[in-house]
Amino acid sequence: MRIGELARRTGVSERLLRYYEEQGLLQPRRRPSGYREYEDADVETVIRIRTLLAAGLNTALIAQILPCFLDNGEYLVPTCAEMVNDLHRAREQITVTIDELLRSRTALDEVIAAAPPQDAEPAVSSTPPRDE
């Protein structure tokens, strides 16, 4: 199938499919005309890629571990024991990011709470305007 058909069947844009190819996630054959030719199995590959991206993994890690997954119909199952450590590291990084975002939200909540009520008169600056 050509790239437009793969895009239609997966709901992923052609541009994104080309990006996946650049990242080594897809390896379509090329016709003599230069057009990409995808297999039916590439539909499942794209779905796996989307699942792993949604899980917070980056494309570099996905390229390494993609061959080590089996889809049991419900979820992806790792089949290479050594890649589980990579998944644990990725999960820890996500946890660190969540903690940082929670601290940022708390700081922003404090700034918002310190703001004057919206119906109050705007504060008048005691600094005279600058001549430019």
- Residue 52's identity, in one-letter code, is L
Write down the residue that tokens 């990725």 correspond to. Answer: 90
Q: Which domains does the chain have, with CATH numbers?
A: 3-114 (1.10.1660.10)
94 versus 121: which is more confidently predicted?
Answer: 94
Q: How far apart are CA 97 and CA 46, in angstroms?
A: 26
Band of residue 127 on the pLDDT scale cut at 50, 70, 90: low
pLDDT in tens, 30-84: 999 988 999 999 999 999 999 899 989 999 999 988 888 877 777 788 888 888 8
pLDDT in tens, 5-27: 999 999 999 999 999 999 999 99
pLDDT in tens, 89-108: 999 999 999 999 999 999 99
Beta bridge partners of 71: 76
Contacts of 38 (CB under 8 A, 6+ apart): 1, 2, 3, 5, 6, 26, 28
Is pLDDT of 123 > 80? no
pLDDT at position 126, please? 54
